[in-house]
């Protein structure tokens, strides 16, 4: 009877370690799957939401300080010709079009207003 109890206790101790080993193996397999699956989903670019506020901030800063300021654009997924330069009145020196992934901003010459248009790429 004692031999059977000792054998059963040894088997229980062995099973506790085996469960931990199984958990580690499953965790590694799931981690590898996520490593390959998650990059397939493209994260949307929401930098255009920041662009509106940043544009108006630099424009109002130019008018408040009565000095020229440059709107330096270091957003992801943006296409433009030159940096926008505001004079002391908040006007721009050059009209241009700024394109994000799915939005197009037109900077009006003189007033410095921006007009936003959305377009969808299929």
- Give the model's confidence band at 115: pLDDT under 50 very low, under 70 low, under 90 confident, else very high: confident
Residue 28 has pLDDT above 90, yes or no: yes
Beta bridge partners of 118: 103
- Give the integer Cα–Cα distance in Å for 92 and 119: 25
Taking CA 101 as the corner, what is the angle to CA 99 and CA 105, rounded to the nearest 5 degrees?
Answer: 30
What are the residue ranges of helices labelled H in the chain?
A: 2-37, 47-65
Model confidence over 50-80: pLDDT tens digits?
888 888 898 899 999 999 888 877 776 676 7
Mean pLDDT rounded to a whole number for the chain: 78
- Give the integer Cα–Cα distance in Å for 22 and 118: 51
- What integer pLDDT is reported at residue 31 of this predicted model? 93
């Amino acid at each position: 009877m004692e031999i059977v109890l000792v054998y059963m206790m040894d088997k229980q101790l062995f099973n506790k370690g085996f469960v931990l080993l199984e958990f580690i193996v499953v965790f590694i397999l799931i981690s590898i799957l996520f490593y390959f699956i998650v990059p397939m989903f493209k994260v949307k670019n929401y930098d255009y939401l920041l662009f509106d506020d940043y544009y108006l901030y630099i424009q109002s800063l130019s008018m408040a300080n009565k000095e020229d300021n440059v709107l330096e654009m270091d957003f992801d997924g943006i296409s433009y010709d030159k940096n926008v330069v505001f004079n002391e009145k908040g006007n721009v020196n050059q009209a241009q079009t700024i394109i994000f992934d799915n939005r197009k901003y037109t900077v009006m010459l003189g007033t410095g207003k921006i007009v936003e248009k959305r377009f969808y790429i299929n």
